[in-house]
Structure 1
Amino acid sequence: MNMEVGTPIDYPILLKVWESSIRATHDFLEEQDIQALRPLILHTYLPGLTITLARRSYDHSIVGFTGVSKNRIEMLFVDADQRGKGIGKRLLLQATHEQGADELDVNEQNLLAITFYKKHGFETVGRSEVDGQGMPYPLLHMKLRGT
């Protein structure tokens, strides 16, 4: 697995990884929510983030990515077919250790993600009733313990 900085040329592939990931983990989202988020991810959110790609060594395909802004992990997505292989952990450790990220938000309904972040030292420090788009998908605000 190779880690490298992402560029705008990678965005169409990142959108596919994002969609694969959320379809596997965000079963609470409606189809219209996913379709409404696609252009926002591609044109609004990705350009404002420092992107780190996880690429497979043997074929260089992108299998996951993080998007970090200042000390916040704004995105961490792993292709659905690659889940459970340590990619998310490597991306998280890279973001926390090399980029100094110590905060993130996670959908309250995404129990696997909450468990993952808690396992890696994050704790819940707050909650919002709505997500970043004002939709009724509560967010948990998490911070790395000891920071």
Structure 2
Amino acid sequence: MIRKAKEHEYDRMVSLWLVASIKAHDGVEPGFWRSQQQAMRQKYVPSAENWVYVRNDTILGFCSLQQNVVAALFVDPAYQHQGIGSLLLEYVKSIDAQLELSVYSMNAQAVAFYEQHGFRTMDERFDDMTGQWEKVMRLGEPVYR
């Protein structure tokens, strides 16, 4: 089931974000992600509209929107490749058809996932915080370079 997140669930969401971020971004030191937990909990998650995927009273994934930007989409690594991310993304696509997002270029699996869901690369930029390139993607737009 997908529903709006409740404030008391933010800690679980941040914990899920941390584990999934470390697993998905092996080019970024795990310490960086750990150093961002407080900002995620106190700033980023509360400032977004958050939806969670819940099964048996356990949050297995979440998606955060800041206006039309997909700011976060994470699934518990133990439950990845079961369609949870797709369900969350399709849900937020039904809310706003003009979505944008950024994804690290090194995360080929995530880039392919978003492309399968209709996102196209619009630009690339360097993230000074992580030292990684990221793709800026937009739903349904042609590729520009």
Say whether the fold is shared (TM-score over 0.5).
yes
Q: Does 1:110 align with 2:107?
A: yes
Q: Does 1:135 align with 2:138?
A: no
Task: Tell me the distance in 2 between the aligned counterparts of 1:123 and 1:110.
Answer: 15
Q: Which moved more, 1:122-131 or 1:85-94?
A: 122-131
Task: Tell me the distance in 2 between the aligned counterparts of 1:100 and 1:122.
Answer: 11
**Which amino acid in the other structure matches residue 126 of structure 1?**
D
- Number of residue pairs the alignment of both structures matches: 142
Cα displacement (A) at 1:96? 0.9
TM-score relative to the length of structure 1: 0.91
RMSD: 1.5
Match of 1:88 in 2: 85
Over residues 52-81 of structure 1, what are the superposed CA-to-partner deviations in whole Å (9 max), with x where a residue is unaligned?
00001xx21000000001111000000000
Task: Tell me the distance in 1 between the aligned counterparts of 2:12 and 2:64.
Answer: 14
Q: For structure 1, which runs of at least 5 residues remain unmatched after alignment?
A: none
TM-score relative to the length of structure 2: 0.92
Q: Does 1:65 align with 2:62?
A: yes
2:45 aligns to what SS in structure 1? Answer: helix
Over residues 93-140 of structure 1, what are the superposed CA-to-partner deviations in whole Å (9 max), with x where a residue is unaligned?
011112445110001111100000001110100011115xx3311111
Match of 1:38 in 2: 37
Cα displacement (A) at 1:47? 0.8
2:119/2:141 contact within 8 Å kept: no
Match of 2:140 in 1: 145
**Which amino acid in the other structure matches residue 85 of structure 1?**
Q
1:52/1:65 contact within 8 Å kept: yes
1:129 aligns to what SS in structure 2? Answer: strand
Q: Structure 1 runs of 4+ off > 4 angstroms? A: none
**What percent of counterpart residues are identical?**
25
Q: For structure 2, which runs of at least 5 residues remain unmatched after alignment?
A: none
